[in-house]
């Protein structure tokens, strides 16, 4: 589950947040319950808001920019979700392949069933409703 982080409460110099916004950044939760990055331009530290579920100190998290703010999630949770997504993707691909094979099989079967050329011609001379001009 993604957890929202507060806006960084450390002094922000121009250009400090841009590297954080571009990638998922790996760090751990500090003893004080904050998320801290030491970047070349300075330190960035964020807290969990009071209404958010806090993570235990030492938990490895990934932090990324999402829609106007920072969110984080435990690395183990993200890894499990990614693994599950790959399994689902493989299952969908296999189902699509089976569906396509079934479509091709049905098309081949239908092409052999449409033997209208094998039917005898219809004799319309004896049937009054099929006579022209009546």
The answer to whether residue 114 scores a pLDDT higher than 70 is no
Mean pLDDT confidence for 12-35: 80
pLDDT > 90 in the chain, percent: 21
Query: Greater confidence, 130 or 91?
Result: 91
Q: What is the mean pLDDT of the chain?
A: 81
Mean pLDDT confidence for 6-28: 76
Burial (CB < 10 A; 0-12, 13-18, 19+), residue 52, is middle
Mean pLDDT confidence for 110-118: 67
The answer to whether residue 134 scores a pLDDT higher than 70 is no
Q: How many CB atoms lie within 10 A of CB 66?
A: 12
Lowest mean pLDDT among 79-83, 114-118, 126-130: 114-118
The answer to whether residue 17 scores a pLDDT higher than 90 is no
């Amino acid at each position: 589950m993604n957890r929202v982080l507060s806006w960084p409460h450390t002094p922000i110099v121009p250009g400090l947040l841009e590297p954080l916004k571009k990638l998922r950044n790996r760090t751990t939760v500090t003893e004080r319950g904050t998320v801290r990055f030491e970047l070349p331009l300075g330190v960035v530290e964020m807290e969990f808001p009071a209404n958010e579920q806090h993570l235990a100190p030492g938990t490895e998290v990934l932090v990324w920019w999402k829609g106007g703010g920072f969110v984080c999630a435990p690395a183990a949770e993200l890894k499990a979700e990614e693994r599950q997504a790959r399994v689902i993707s493989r299952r969908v691909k296999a189902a699509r392949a089976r569906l396509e094979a079934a479509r091709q099989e049905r098309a081949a079967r239908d092409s052999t069933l449409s033997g209208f050329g094998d039917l005898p011609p219809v004799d319309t001379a004896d049937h009054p409703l099929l006579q022209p001009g009546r």
